[in-house]
Amino acid sequence: MSVMTTGDTDLEPTRLTVDDLQRTPDDGRRYELVDGRLDVSPAPASFHTLVTGRLTAHLSNCAPTGLMIMDGPGITLNAQRTRHRIPDVAVIRNEDFQMPYTTRPPLLAVEVVSPESVLRDHHTKKHEYAAFGIPSYWLITPDPDDPSIIELQLKDGEYTEVAAAFGKDVLDTDLPFPVRIAPQWLLRLDGDWREHVGGPKEADETRAEQETEKPENDA
């Protein structure tokens, strides 16, 4: 974390707002704010970028009308505009889109966890996103040997883990909309990831059959 100060140790450190972010360099790093202090992350590594790109594309293909999938949107978390985060991916209602940054909770925030961001993503952002009221939070670990997705949902003001998928397992969730994701296909370079990222087709067909049979069963 980088902290901006006035240069005089007897003075209160200068509290930055989102307006100050416009003066940060365009150097590939991520500049966020924590109570008016800069929190700087290094430029994402290749696996991080690969996962983010594939996840954004897959969610975009599955999202219903009225929702947008955004890669790295800026989200201002408080009225003082001194707390600002940039999730790797977010799902936002069309009517909640704002410029230059959104001030309304997205339906989903996703962080791709890197070695240097474990504490930030699993603890700091987890509490910040919960306090802001983001209903769903995913943590993706892009481990080439055992990638994973942890799904958290907001309950009584705190996040509760509701599902997890590792490797070839499939995360099957209805929030923020029905979608299935096999973590390994967010990283694998062999085969067509677009064909496999949603898991085995047999599972899709079974789920479709179950949905079709529901009215008959209810009757």
pLDDT of residue 219: 43
pLDDT of residue 22: 87
Per-residue confidence in pLDDT tens, the chain, 219 aa = 334 443 444 555 689 999 999 899 999 899 999 999 999 999 889 999 999 999 999 999 999 999 999 999 999 999 999 999 999 999 999 999 999 999 999 999 999 999 989 999 999 999 999 999 999 999 999 999 999 999 999 999 999 999 999 999 999 999 999 999 999 999 999 999 999 999 987 455 555 555 666 555 554
pLDDT of residue 9: 46
pLDDT of residue 143: 94
pLDDT of residue 14: 83
pLDDT of residue 3: 43
pLDDT of residue 215: 56
**Are the beta carbons of 1 and 40 closer than 8 angstroms?**
yes
Tokens read off for 206? 């079974």
pLDDT of residue 206: 52
Give me the domains of the chain, ranges plus CATH numbers: 44-218 (3.90.1570.10)
pLDDT of residue 8: 44
pLDDT of residue 209: 57
pLDDT of residue 189: 94
